[in-house]
Chains A and B, each alone.
Chain A
């Protein structure tokens, strides 16, 4: 059973701080990793993807991947109240078609 584990939170950070969201996965065959943001009552939206070990930056977001430790994280710099949402980690196999396994998500609360 392939699993993606996340702390459900909530993770509370003050406005302007760095939020660090973490995810571990069980399947060593995972080759692709994604972060989705889901606002309460809304659908997920894809915000980051990462395929290689190391860091990938996109604006205020940085995804970090360590395949040896089976660990992926998302850093949000200069957190804003509008970043308050649930962040879903998902892993996939690059077998031609992406079959993603989602974690249960971490709820982030950014206070003004």
Chain B
């Protein structure tokens, strides 16, 4: 079974620029998560999708972050404009049900300068 795919793996941008991340979950997994993990901290949930509907986005900074999951499969997370404090690893995860994230992608390491 192919794992969760994410791209790009690394991104360096200047503050106030925009950036987008892509995630392809494990086939058949209905639930998709985006987490932000700042160095030395645990992952923080940004948004959780069930199929193509949003289950939870309470911690998503909606003034600058947006996410969508078209057709209940792939997902994109966008940041516009980026701030220095957005420097982190952005992890995409999926699970086959309403359970916890069971498979994480390799992550995208974002550096904002």
* A interface residues (Cβ-Cβ under 8 A, vs B): 4, 8, 32, 34, 42-46, 49, 88, 90, 92, 96-100, 102-105
Contacts and interface: CB of A to CB of B under 8 A. Distances in A.
Interface of B: 31, 40-45, 48, 50, 55-56, 91, 98-102, 104-107
A104 B48 CA distance: 20
A70 B9 CA distance: 37
B50 A105 contact: no
* Of A46, A49, A90, A105, most B-chain CB atoms within 10 Å: A46
A49 B41 CA distance: 21
A32 B98 CA distance: 12
Contact of B42 (A43, A90, A92, A98): A90
Contacts of B48: 97, 99
